Copies of this chain bind each other. A is one copy, B any other.
Amino acid sequence: MKIAFLGLGTMGFPMAANLLKAGHSVSAWNRSPAPVDRLASLGAKPAATPAEAAQDAEVLISMLADDAATRFALLDGGALDALPRAAVHANMATVSVDLACEFARLHRARGLHYVAAPVLGRVNVAEAGQLNILAAGPDDALVILQPVFGAMGQKTWRVGERPEQANAAKLAANFMIAAAIGAMSEAVALAQGHGVDAAQFLDMITSTAFAAPVYKGYGKAIADRQFEPAGFRLELGLKDVRLALDAAAQVNVPMSLASVLRDAHIESLAHHEGHLDWAALSRTAARRAGQI
């Protein structure tokens, strides 16, 4: 299939590489050119602009940093205008519910199909082609995308016909990660307050009732106080918690845990910890308790 790929970051690059491996033709653009060259060495066709990548594509995949970068590439960068009629755009980044609604309208108006397809899984999972893909959009478009998704992920979860539903589900999942980190942070502060070793407590909890990837990964970082280099920056975590709260407010859903977590993230930023790994959220609980 002829695929345009916009955004070759830490996640986008291995996803695009897997498309090449599966035999698809990939025309790729990235804001900075180096990853484009690297992907070209794997067989991709380099594009100097989003529009250049998009022309002739049957399917366009975008995996950009946030709403602004996505809007920039698709609108200012001309990708949307360049796409052939009836092409399918699958936006696999974590963006706002608002953007999904706006993009669904813009695509429809041009005779294009818009699918939201954010993913669960980090870089190593993307490299292995084992992502879980949360997809929402028109049925026809999802059928077209299935072989594309199959090259990048182990499973596609179809969560609805309106694209923003996939974003809502993804934001709900990311909120749960924030809550897991936040809960470990407070639990550790309590345990440490009584002289219990944080590393032992986290080892215990993550090898029993909480033996899940999220807890093991962030738990180890908290135990080791290892917040650099950041696997996923705290400030991006804040972005996602905010988007979750916004998505919830749109449908009048109050989220009291999410609000508390938002406050804790902002406190992290006030203490210059936004560039650290998301696990550094644990420092806020410790700081409030006078432990650091």
Binding site for B on A (CB under 8 A): 97, 120-121, 132, 134, 157, 159-160, 162, 164-165, 168-169, 171-173, 175-177, 179-180, 182-184, 186-191, 193-197, 200-201, 204-205, 208-215, 244, 247-264, 266-267, 269-272, 285, 288-291
Contact = CB atoms under 8 A, between A and B. Distances in A.
Contact of A244 (B190, B208, B210, B272): B190
A194 B176 contact: no
A263 to B, nearest CB: 4
Secondary structure class of chain A's binding surface, majority of residues: helix
A253 B266 contact: yes
A245 B286 CA distance: 15
B262 A259 contact: yes
Contacts of A169: 191, 194, 196, 201, 204
Given A201-B169, A262-B259, A270-B288, A193 B251 contact: yes
Contacts of A213: 208-209, 211
A269 B257 contact: no
Given A168-B193, A176-B205, A254-B264, 17 more contacts: A121-B208, A132-B208, A164-B194, A168-B190, A176-B187, A180-B210, A186-B257, A190-B253, A212-B215, A252-B266, A252-B270, A253-B266, A254-B288, A256-B260, A263-B288, A267-B289, A288-B288
A196 B173 CA distance: 12
A255 B189 contact: yes
B186 A134 contact: no
A260 to B, nearest CB: 5
A244 B214 CA distance: 23
A173 B205 CA distance: 7
